[in-house]
Structure 1
Amino acid sequence: MRGKVVMVTGAASGLGAACVELLLKQGATVVGLDRQSAPPPPRGSWIPLDLADVSAIGPAVRRAVEQHGRLDGLVNAAGVMDTRPFMQISPADFDKIFSVNVRAAFFVLQAAAEHMAHTGGGSAVLFSSTGGRVGRPLAAHYAASKAAMISLVKSTSVALADVGVRVNCVSPGLVETPMLQDIRRRRAAQGAPSADSVRHDWESRIPLGRLGSPSEVAEVVAFLVSDAASYVTGEDIGVHGGLETS
């Protein structure tokens, strides 16, 4: 990864922060983007950005390229999650999920791909979820947004192949992040015995018997960004401990 400039959205916490940490270890220059403030990476920069404001995406990507001279990779880890029964999902709930998980991801990829094409190509990794591949009765709108990510990868990997930009996605399962901890608390508030009981139920359904760690997802992301995956495009890779096979 030495000499490569990689932009990571949702870089302040969770899976995005784990990707930043590993990419830095592997030698990349990292541009972190997030609506939360954070110190800039030791080798790279930080750009505040609320992805819900799509008009700010293009200028933010241009700023990253102006700062570092090129763009070789994109990791779009930013996303929002909501858990509630299907009949209780309002238009506002639906629009909030899709504005970040789909609309923003689409235009981040579009802006980044334009710059990567100018510097000889690159690699983009989007985030889907096991929720985009199997049913989620308590998060139907979230699951639909993640299914859209898989479709977007299939289309854009073909659309951008002739300019040397590879596009893939990862689909994490139950990975221990602040977002997952919040989901456990909300499920308890919605009727589960406790947040701990929710975790135990999840772990009982995972063949490997445990939740994943952000670093385990970051390893797959870093592979897809790197030249080691130079012949991989249009793929959706599950990182879920066998959850979908149980």
Structure 2
Amino acid sequence: MSRLIVIGGSKGIGNAIITSLLSSYDEVVNISRTPPENESENLKHYSCDVINDELPEIDSADGLVYCPGSINLKPINRLSIDDFKNDFEINVLGAVKAIQKYLPSLKNGNNPSIVLFSTVATKLGMPFHASVAASKSAVEGLTKSLGAELAPTVRVNAIAPTVTDTELASKLLRNERMIENMNDRHPLKKYLQPQEVADMAGFLLSQKAASLSGQVFEMDCGIVSFKI
């Protein structure tokens, strides 16, 4: 039986991934504090705080996606050490915990793949992003290191999106002027929709990406890649 595990699939990008891939797997397992809005016979939900709770036992899996993230934007003199610790715990240690838990399950799967999430802020110096950029940079290091360590059995890749229209980014898109400014900042004159990121995740999980591991894919709408 083909099975995908999604950590944090109740909202935003994670929910878009679940919705997009329900028909591609015999079972999609969502692990998050709140259930997703989706209802399907092949969708199973475990209510779980990934950081603080024991993760459920799952005997085999073909894919693992770790979606939890944070957007904690403050000047450096207003960022506490606890802010850095919390962002690191959510973005990095949670991913490590999930991978350590489900690596035996993935090794029992068929052409297994892991997808993690970074951000364009690791490549593009942006004010007020010190904490999130530091933790997501660690995710990129984890991606490359584990990609090498787990080859050829398990592929590991990451997606680094720019601003995406989710609840997490709602403060950055809270009115028409901010939306217009966000579009103008990107050379492609747009920011991301969750489905676009879900499509990339689906590709990286699939056999179409069988030759890709240890890579970080910037979905940046041109903001990192171009100077126009």
TM (norm. structure 1) is: 0.85
2:35 partner SS: coil
Partner of 1:18: 16
Partner of 2:107: 117
Tell me how far apart the structure 2 counterparts of residues 159 and 88 of structure 1 sit (CA, whole Å).
38
Q: Is it true that 1:146 corresponds to 2:136 in the alignment?
A: yes
Shift of 1:18: 0.3
**Structure 1: unaligned runs, 5 residues or longer:** 186-194
Evaluate the alpha carbon distance shift between residue 121 and residue 235 of structure 1 in structure 2; reply closer, same or farther with a 3 A threshold: same
8 A Cα contact 1:31 1:41, kept in partner: no
Report matched runs for 1:66-215 at 5 Å.
70-119=60-109, 121-162=111-152, 164-184=153-173, 195-215=175-195
- Of residues 167-176 and 25-34 in structure 1, the stretch that sits farther from structure 2 once superposed is 25-34
Partner of 2:210: 230
Give the partner amino acid of 2:50: L
2:113 partner SS: strand
Partner of 1:31: 29
8 A Cα contact 2:3 2:63, kept in partner: yes
* Aligned sequence identity (%): 28
Tell me how far apart the structure 1 counterparts of residues 219 and 140 of structure 2 sit (CA, whole Å).
14
Shift of 1:31: 0.3
1:52 partner SS: coil
**Relative to total residues, which structure has the larger helix share, 1 or 2?**
1
Shift of 1:52: 1.9
Evaluate the alpha carbon distance shift between residue 39 and residue 184 of structure 1 in structure 2; reply closer, same or farther with a 3 A threshold: closer
Evaluate the alpha carbon distance shift between residue 134 and residue 210 of structure 1 in structure 2; reply closer, same or farther with a 3 A threshold: same
Shift of 1:146: 0.8
- Of residues 199-208 and 32-41 in structure 1, the stretch that sits farther from structure 2 once superposed is 32-41
Q: Is it true that 1:7 corresponds to 2:12 in the alignment?
A: no
1:168 partner SS: strand
Evaluate the alpha carbon distance shift between residue 47 and residue 25 of structure 1 in structure 2; reply closer, same or farther with a 3 A threshold: same
**Structure 2: unaligned runs, 5 residues or longer:** none
Evaluate the alpha carbon distance shift between residue 155 and residue 41 of structure 1 in structure 2; reply closer, same or farther with a 3 A threshold: farther
How large is the RMSD of aligned CA atoms in angstroms?
1.8
Deviations 1:156-176 (A, max 9, x none): 0011114x1000000111111
8 A Cα contact 2:116 2:158, kept in partner: yes
Tell me how far apart the structure 1 counterparts of residues 221 and 190 of structure 2 sit (CA, whole Å).
8
Q: Is it true that 1:240 corresponds to 2:210 in the alignment?
A: no
Tell me how far apart the structure 2 counterparts of residues 25 and 208 of structure 1 sit (CA, whole Å).
31
Evaluate the alpha carbon distance shift between residue 37 and residue 44 of structure 1 in structure 2; reply closer, same or farther with a 3 A threshold: closer
2:54 partner SS: helix
- Of residues 85-94 and 111-120 in structure 1, the stretch that sits farther from structure 2 once superposed is 111-120
Tell me how far apart the structure 2 counterparts of residues 41 and 117 of structure 1 sit (CA, whole Å).
28
Give the partner amino acid of 2:94: A
Evaluate the alpha carbon distance shift between residue 16 and residue 117 of structure 1 in structure 2; reply closer, same or farther with a 3 A threshold: same
Shift of 1:180: 0.9
Shift of 1:44: 2.7
